[in-house]
Structure 1
């Protein structure tokens, strides 16, 4: 079975968020299970691309409206990532450094999809499944089935995975001319709320759609930025499959990015060594419980109330708790956190930006990981923290609810709270302080966390079962 994954991100080629981690791991585990999985990514002028060898396997031109665009398909020569990696390069449009935020982003991703379809329609080897991820590849299912250019592929089943249903990639009907000749009687499949909506089109046209956790599948019918009714109507072909993590990359026993490697049996001493390195770097007291946050500083992650929650917790618990923030995003949130750092230099520190190596050390050296998300389709950070014996403190939503059991419940190992509020966060922090002051209990919970299996093995099998359940599309 040959699978093509289409995505805007893939670790380690180009990463902005969790989408990259999923697309960088799932195909590898599918290949290990016997499938022929490949990733097709837009070309980015980034370190991975510059430092590895690629060969041109296809060249042609596609039309974006009246613009004739030359493109080439580049293949990484050695399958270094554990799967075939292809890059779509279009000079002057799909060959830049950053993944998002260009003024012509719509044109970039439409052209990327058209170039992929042009290439694969000429290829001698047809895929068994085309697996699209998020709105950046959301037009592919529609075009496969309703454009005359791609009739050779019209029976190819498509699967669409929603990593974040808040972003649709919508644009106006004035850009319909960007698409190749289509069956104009089917334009309703592109439409939502008076515009062309790639995410909605993919949900309508794909054979099946998946979400990255079972709870998020239900939550999309309640909150999906205007698509709630669509998800209600199409719920019969939706499946929730929890993300896994790459246990080769995220392994405290072998991780080269942390201060000292350790196993569950030596979690106490191993985590202490990493905590010492982390606290020395950020001028924090190693004897106090360390609560960390890693992620984007945006409303979706609940980051806007973190400064107030930290200040209240420090005020209520002087010299009893430390905080470390690693992230970037909203400038006002960044400013508030920097002010906290100046106000409480011995209990709070901040790293504005993202540093992959530092993130690994934070997971290994922290005692608790705070995730007060308003929306969290799956979440990977809590899975990384569990792998490293760091207790996740999460709001009960989406994948956080599916993967973290409160330590007060049978078999539990984390801290859960119901609302993204300062009061809820502070209560969770007070519980963290209490459990930290019971070393035997904390050690038992750490061993339980590190014994959990959130690898991609089980999730990859579920995707394979889903693929096999889909019959070729008949138009």
Structure 2
């Protein structure tokens, strides 16, 4: 079976969020299970591209509406990622540094999809399944099946994975001329609220769609930025599959980014050493419970709640704590979190930005990681934390609901707050502090957390089962 993953991100080339992690890991594990999986993504002028060798495997001219453009397909030469990686480079559109945030993002990603399909059409490259990820690739299922131009490719099966249903990539019908000639009787499959909606179109047109957790599939019928009715109607051919983590990269036994490597047998002593080093770096006492937050400082993640929650934690003299933040996002939240550093030296610190090595050291050294998310399609931070014996404190939503069991339940290993509110999260924190004071009980949970199977090996088998269920197009 041959599967091409089409994605705007892929670690280690370009990663903004969980999409990059998935595209960089799932194909590798599919290959290990006998599937011939590859990744096609846009070209970005970033570190990985600059430091590695690529060979040109295809070149052509095509059109975005009446605008001609030249594109190249570059293949990573070494194969060291565990899958074939292809980059589509388009002069003036896909030759920049950043992944998103440009005024012409619609043009950039529509051109990316057209270049991909033209490459498939003109090169004769074959695949069984095109697995599209998020709205940046959402037009592909429609174009494969209902564009006269790509009629000869209509035997390809398609799967569409939603990593975040709040973003649709919608644009007005005045830009409909960007697309090659399509069956006029099928234009309704592109339309939502009188515009072209790539995410809605992919849900309607793909042979199957998936979400990155079972609970998130249900939640899209309640909250999906205007597509609730669509998800209610289409849920029968949707499947929720929990994301995995790359256990080759996220492994405290071999992680090159942490100082004290450890196993289940050595976790208590070695994790304590990692905590000491982390606390020394940021001016904390290792005797206090260390709470952390890693991620985007945005409303979806509940980051707007953090300043007040932290003030409540720091104002409690009976329960002294240490707090470390690693993240960036909303400017006002960044400023509030940065300002707390002056008010609470020795107890609070923040690194505004992102640092992959620091993230690994935090997972290895922290006691608790906070995830008060309002929306969390899957969440990977809680899975990384559990792998390193760090307890997640979460709002039970989306993938957090599917992956974290409260310690009050049989075989529980996390703290579930029940709501993304200041009071609910602060109540969860007080439970965590109480648990920290019972050192023996906390350490007994380490093996339970670290032996949970959230590997891509498990998730990849579910995707293979889905692929195999798709019937050939007659």
State the match for 1:455 in structure 2. Answer: 455
Contact 1:214/1:402 (CA < 8 Å) preserved in 2?
yes
State the match for 1:139 in structure 2. Answer: 139
Contact 1:250/1:387 (CA < 8 Å) preserved in 2?
yes
Structure 2 distance, partners of 1:455, 1:464, is 15
Task: Give the Å deviation of 1:42.
Answer: 0.1
Residue 317 to residue 264, structure 1, CA distance change in 2 (3 Å): farther
State the match for 1:294 in structure 2. Answer: 294
Please state if 1:386 is matched with 2:386: yes
Structure 2 distance, partners of 1:141, 1:123, is 19
Structure 2 distance, partners of 1:273, 1:148, is 63
Deviation track 1:221-244 (CA, whole Å, cap 9, x = no partner) reads 000000000001101100000000
Q: Secondary structure at the match of 2:389?
A: coil
State the match for 1:116 in structure 2. Answer: 116
Deviation track 1:194-253 (CA, whole Å, cap 9, x = no partner) reads 110000000000000000000001000000000000001101100000000000000000
State the match for 1:164 in structure 2. Answer: 164
State the match for 1:258 in structure 2. Answer: 258
Structure 1 distance, partners of 2:155, 2:237, is 18
Structure 2 distance, partners of 1:327, 1:318, is 28
TM-score by length of 2: 0.99
Equivalence map 1:322-471=2 (5 Å): 322-471=322-471
Structure 1 distance, partners of 2:303, 2:318, is 22
Task: Give the Å deviation of 1:439.
Answer: 1.1
State the match for 2:241 in structure 1. Answer: 241
State the match for 2:183 in structure 1. Answer: 183
Structure 1 distance, partners of 2:66, 2:235, is 38
Deviation track 1:322-377 (CA, whole Å, cap 9, x = no partner) reads 11000000010011101111111121100000000110001001000000000000
Structure 2 distance, partners of 1:24, 1:31, is 12
Contact 1:69/1:90 (CA < 8 Å) preserved in 2?
yes
Q: Secondary structure at the match of 2:69?
A: strand
Structure 1 distance, partners of 2:62, 2:262, is 52
Deviation track 1:378-415 (CA, whole Å, cap 9, x = no partner) reads 00000000000000000000000000000111000000
Structure 1 distance, partners of 2:348, 2:437, is 20
Q: Secondary structure at the match of 1:55?
A: strand
Please state if 1:86 is matched with 2:79: no
Structure 1 distance, partners of 2:231, 2:351, is 38
Structure 1 residues not aligned, in runs of 5+: none
Contact 1:45/1:97 (CA < 8 Å) preserved in 2?
yes
Contact 1:319/1:347 (CA < 8 Å) preserved in 2?
no
Task: Give the Å deviation of 1:317.
Answer: 4.2
State the match for 2:44 in structure 1. Answer: 44
Structure 2 distance, partners of 1:261, 1:232, is 47
State the match for 2:74 in structure 1. Answer: 74
Structure 1 distance, partners of 2:282, 2:462, is 42
Q: Secondary structure at the match of 2:429?
A: helix
Task: Give the Å deviation of 1:149.
Answer: 1.1
Structure 1 distance, partners of 2:353, 2:317, is 28
How many residue pairs get matched?
474
Q: Secondary structure at the match of 2:266?
A: helix
Structure 2 residues not aligned, in runs of 5+: none
State the match for 1:200 in structure 2. Answer: 200
Residue 319 to residue 413, structure 1, CA distance change in 2 (3 Å): closer
Which has the larger displacement, 149-158 or 197-206? 149-158
Task: Give the Å deviation of 1:277.
Answer: 1.4
TM-score by length of 1: 0.99
Which has the larger displacement, 276-285 or 243-252? 276-285
Contact 1:207/1:473 (CA < 8 Å) preserved in 2?
no
Structure 2 distance, partners of 1:209, 1:62, is 29
Q: Secondary structure at the match of 1:431?
A: helix
Contact 1:72/1:88 (CA < 8 Å) preserved in 2?
yes
Contact 2:319/2:433 (CA < 8 Å) preserved in 1?
no
Task: Give the Å deviation of 1:316.
Answer: 2.4
Contact 1:305/1:422 (CA < 8 Å) preserved in 2?
yes
Q: Secondary structure at the match of 1:152?
A: helix
Q: Secondary structure at the match of 1:312?
A: helix
Which has the larger displacement, 98-107 or 313-322? 313-322
